[in-house]
Amino acid sequence: MTFEEYVGNRGPALLRLARLLTGDEHRAEDLTQDVLARAYVHWRKIVRADRPDVYVRRMLVNANASWWRRRSSQELAVDTFAERAERDDLSGEAADRDEMWRLIRALPDRQRAVLVLRYYEDLDDATIAQILDCSPVTVRTHAMRALTHLRERCGAPTTNGSRP
C-alpha cells in the first residue's frame, strides 16, 4: 500500500477521529496533516508494521496529547475557563447532544480517547489498548471512569448494560 493509497482510504477517518479528539475543526486538520507528514517520512517502516492503521492512529492520539506541550503552553491555565454549552437556542435532542459533547470534551485526554475509539471507531479493547500503548485493563479503567463521570452528570441510571 502506498502512502497515497493509505491517505485516500483512511485520511477522512483519521480527520474525523482528530475532530473528536481535539474538539476543534482547525486543530484537527492541522493535527492530521502533521501526523500524516510524519508518517510520510517513515512510510516504508510503517507499512511493514502488522497493522499500519493502528500505528498511525496511535501517532494521532499521542500528538493530540502533546500539541500544547511542544508549544511551551503549560503556562496556560485554561482550566479556569470552563466552556459552557449555549443551550438557550437549542432544544430537545440537539440540546442533549450539545450537553453530552461538552461533558465528553471535559474528560481527561485518555478517557476521551477511549470513548471515541470505543463508541465512534467501534474498536475492541485490545485494539484500543494497542493504540493507546497500554493494557486492556487500563482501557477498561479509563472507560469505567469516563462513563461514571458522564452518568453522574447527565442523569443516566447508574445500573445499565454499558461495557465497563
Q: Specify the amino acid at residue 129.
A: A
Residue listed under C-alpha cell 448494560: 161
Each residue 129-148 as x (binds another protein by CB under 8 A) or -, in order, gives: ------------------x-
Taking the least distance from each CB to another protein, the nearer of 76 and 126 is: 76
How far apart CA 148 and CA 95 sit, in angstroms, is 21
Binding residues for another protein restricted to 34-73, rule: CB under 8 A: 34, 36-42, 59, 62-63, 65-66, 68-73
# residues near another protein by CB under 8 A: 65
Q: Which residue in 52, 57, 81, 139 binds another protein (CB under 8 A)?
A: 81
Q: Within a 13 Å sphere around the CA of 54, how many CA atoms are in the beta-carbon half?
A: 15
Taking the least distance from each CB to another protein, the nearer of 39 and 126 is: 39
Q: Tell me 121's DSSP state.
A: S
How far apart CA 13 and CA 3 sit, in angstroms, is 15
Each residue 91-120 as x (binds another protein by CB under 8 A) or -, in order, gives: -----xx--xx--x----------xx--xx
Q: Which residue in 56, 76, 136, 139 binds another protein (CB under 8 A)?
A: 76
How far apart CA 64 and CA 134 sit, in angstroms, is 17
Of 116, 131, 152, 144, the closest CA to residue 23 belongs to 116
Does residue 27 belong to the site contacting another protein (CB under 8 A)?
yes
